[in-house]
A and B are shown apart, each in its own frame.
Chain A
Amino acid sequence: MPAKEMDLPCMECNNAEAAVTTRSRSLCGPCYQRFLNYKVVRRMEKYKGPKDLAKSSVPTARLLLPLSLGASSSVLLHMLDKALARQLAKTSRTSYVLEILVVEPSTISPDQASCDIQFDKAREAFPKHTFNRVPLHSIFEYVPDMTEIMRDYVGPQYIDDDSKSNEERLAAFRDAASSATSKADLDTVLFTRLAVGYAKHTACESILWADSDTSLAAKVLAGAAKGRGASLTWQVSDGMSPWGVMFDFPCRDLSKPELLSYVSVCPELSEIVIPDRPLSDNILTKNLSIDELMLRYVTTQGEKYPGVMANVSRTAHKLHSTSGHGGPLCSLCGGLVENVNGNEDGITVTGQFATENPRFCYGCMRSRPDTVLN
């Protein structure tokens, strides 16, 4: 029995005032954290190592965690840090180590502030892990053939020469995009390529993406809307990416609001997490990118229909992988250049368009600067 009267006692421990209500449970801060933690740890089981980990000689896995310092990736880091500490206490070793990659936000968008303070705070709070911070244009270092790929992709209008710095080169490429949709689409591709390049550079076997089910649902719908349906099998699903690095999404069972609530009951994260910029209501729909439209759709519909939105990424997760469906891969995004094997030409959408550049996939061709002939 609780010692004193409580307005709403935690349904789990009955010992503290409930702080958060989720999935019809009212829980106190620590129990809430444990509840969410369980959903993530369950997804990390494959990295748990053998039962006799202490005596086992299995090598320690190296996993890359891209940290945006937003709510989702910060919570994931917090959870995994705790899980590793528990493992260390129990077996005196850990089954994996985390490599933390922060891509400097001010190099992604000029209207984002630098993350100096939060980066230092995070490093202080989680001293056991290796942190590194790189600018987005370091993609040319970690993906050596990127300059050539970009030249080929944009074509003659992309003027490039050796006098350009990496920063200028990337800016020229990104400026060539003709719409908000294409720009956001290509940015996602670049970010993924950088993370993969960095993972290979640091010998990480997997990348742990911190997407919530909300974010994954938006990615599924946006990917479908951008003609990238075939790539969803690895873009939102646990499994092998086209570059030989595994992709995992341990937060896939948690919604964005749940992750935000976690931050609210977790004082250690209060100085680390950079709040999301609010989804602006005053941008006209036609000026949004498809990614933003879908995130807005999933977020607003998710308030009314959280279950439907949570189900979207689970549905995409059921699709068979495209490996074995053969054919060359897009040199930019890694998707299949041709139709998924079994999807005959001539009577598919691709038959509706003239043959395009054989190095790039349908989705990338839609985002290519010269596709708008206005």
Chain B
Amino acid sequence: MAPTLCFNCKTERAVIIRPKNRHKLCRECFIKVFETEVHETITNAKLFYPGERIAIGASGGKDSTVLAAVLKTLNERYNYGLELSLLSIDEGIRGYRDDSLETVKRNAVQYDMPLKIVGYGELYGWTMDQVVEQVGKKGNCTYCGVFRRQALDRGAAMLEIQHVVTGHNADDVAETVMMNLLRGDLPRLSRGTSIVTESKASDTKRSKPLKYAYEKEIVLYAHHRRLDYFSTECIYSPEAFRGSARTLIKDLEKIRPSSILDIVKSGEDMAVLVPGNTVPGGKSCKSSAAADDEAGGCGSQNGRSSGGEMAAMEQQLAANDTAESRETEIKMPKKGSDTKKIKTQTLQYCEQCGYISSQRICKACTLLDGLNRNRPKTAIEIGLEDEEGSSTLARQMEHIQLTNS
């Protein structure tokens, strides 16, 4: 079979087929096109300003490694004037993060960027290993996701950086759209599709420059540039993908390769139609309560869904349904069930730790309170001086700020 020639340069052998338009490109042209498109996303969305200090949420995985590599390249090529650094979270899972943190450390050298690693242990007083010891393997992903969400912001605050970029790609956004359609959470669907999320109260801005990049192209970019990344499935969620929205997305891609961006397109349009949402879905989402509830799932999977989530949703809905059918007897028609009402969330600060939250007490503190209440007296952890029940996040934070200053 004669090699197919590149659609762009017409001279080199094509090695990739682009999912979005089926163009066949050679290695060089692909790398160039990929970078140019990320650059266009950055400039069209005006993500950065000259001199801005940016923390790249780095896990050592493919997405954040590609993000760091591309940002470094573009920063130099187009003179963005950005001050880039890497920010990593150590969940405290023995044997899992060790290798990926080593990768991040190598990346820091390769890309010549400063690196900050923040641990769950120092932030919350609990490593994930300890959480699992306490709550078991079931449901621990919730803890990890909630803790992770705040950890990046808090890490950025330590570095006095106001803008965190994450490696969320088009597949992640598409999954968020599908997941939230299944979950029935339109506000979250809307937030998940926007390229920038910033809350009115917190001064940390978040953005996803790879929002329009297919995961497939990210992996191929990493492969063809021989980037050094690490991949593993979290040891606590070995079955994470079964029956999940992720699987659905991958099946869709097989059927129609463009469909991932097609879903993102749907999500962007629907975001504008979400009741109570006046903010364009594509641009920037200043919706309240953006802070503590976005990552429902596993932090290490970029908030990807797990099969278990569906079961939890079903339970919730079944409970609602039973309640509804109890109050609505078969023979008593009830009027006005068709109103288009939707819960709106209001912004407030967590009473315990001061972090922005949609509830009186933020999710992290709620989870921590539960953990601390049940902490076995015999298993007092090293470095944890607080008594049972009083080791709230606020205290943990004070502790860290003291020791870090």
Q: A residues near B, CB below 8 A?
A: 12, 23-24, 34-35, 38, 41-42, 45, 179-181, 220-221, 223-230, 232-233, 238, 285-286, 288-290, 293, 297, 301, 304-308, 310-312, 314-322, 325, 336, 339-344, 346-353, 362-363, 366, 371-374
Contacts and interface: CB of A to CB of B under 8 A. Distances in A.
A302 to B, nearest CB: 10
Contacts of B37: 352
B266 A340 contact: no
B225 to A, nearest CB: 22
Given A229-B269, A230-B273, A233-B273, A366 B252 contact: no
A339 B270 CA distance: 10
B393 interface: no
Given A305-B314, A373-B23, 11 more contacts: A226-B256, A230-B273, A308-B310, A311-B313, A315-B185, A318-B275, A319-B273, A320-B340, A349-B261, A349-B264, A371-B258
A24 B330 CA distance: 13
B159 interface: no
Tell me if A's interface is mostly helix, strand, loop or mixed: helix
Contact of A307 (B256, B264, B321, B335): B321
B252 A225 contact: yes
A278 B314 CA distance: 26
A374 B181 contact: no
Given A305-B311, A346-B44, A352-B212, A229 B266 contact: yes
A225 B259 contact: yes
B325 interface: yes
Nearest to A35: B330
Interface in B220-263: 243, 248, 251-252, 254-256, 258-259, 261-263
B322 interface: yes
Interface stretch (B108-116, B277-285, B377-385): B277-285
B256 A349 contact: no
Nearest to B335: A45
Contacts of A316: 181
B329 to A, nearest CB: 10
A306 B317 CA distance: 9
B265 interface: yes
B258 A288 contact: no
Contact of A343 (B21, B255, B269): B269
Contacts of B183: 308
B255 A285 contact: yes
B58 interface: no
B262 A293 contact: no
A188 B400 CA distance: 59
B354 interface: no
Contacts, number: 199
A348 B282 contact: yes
B186 interface: yes
Contacts of B181: 220-221, 224, 312, 315-316
B273 A320 contact: yes
Interface of B: 20-23, 37, 40-41, 44-45, 177-178, 181-186, 195, 212, 243, 248, 251-252, 254-256, 258-259, 261-275, 278, 280-283, 310-311, 313-314, 317-318, 320-322, 325, 330-331, 333-335, 337-338, 340-342
Given A223-B266, A301-B243, A320 B256 contact: no
Contact of A301 (B282, B310, B331): B310
Contacts of A371: 258
A38 B265 contact: no
B314 A308 contact: yes
Contacts of A180: 255
Given A347-B195, A352-B261, A38 B330 contact: yes
Contact of B269 (A35, A41, A286, A340): A340
A254 B265 CA distance: 30
A345 to B, nearest CB: 9
Complex A-B, nearest 4 residue pairs according to Cβ-Cβ distance, in ascending order: A229-B266, A307-B317, A227-B262, A349-B265
A12 B330 contact: yes
A308 B282 contact: no
Contacts of A351: 40, 44
A293 B254 CA distance: 11
B263 A227 contact: yes
B389 to A, nearest CB: 36
Contacts of B261: 227, 349, 352
Contacts of A353: 20-21
Contacts of A23: 321, 325
Greatest chain A CB density within 10 A among B195, B252, B278 is at B252
B20 A352 contact: yes
14 contacts: A42-B334, A45-B333, A223-B266, A224-B270, A229-B263, A290-B256, A305-B311, A307-B317, A307-B318, A315-B181, A318-B340, A319-B270, A319-B275, A342-B280
B255 A286 contact: yes
Given A290-B256, A308-B314, A319-B274, A224 B178 contact: yes
Contacts of A304: 310-311, 314
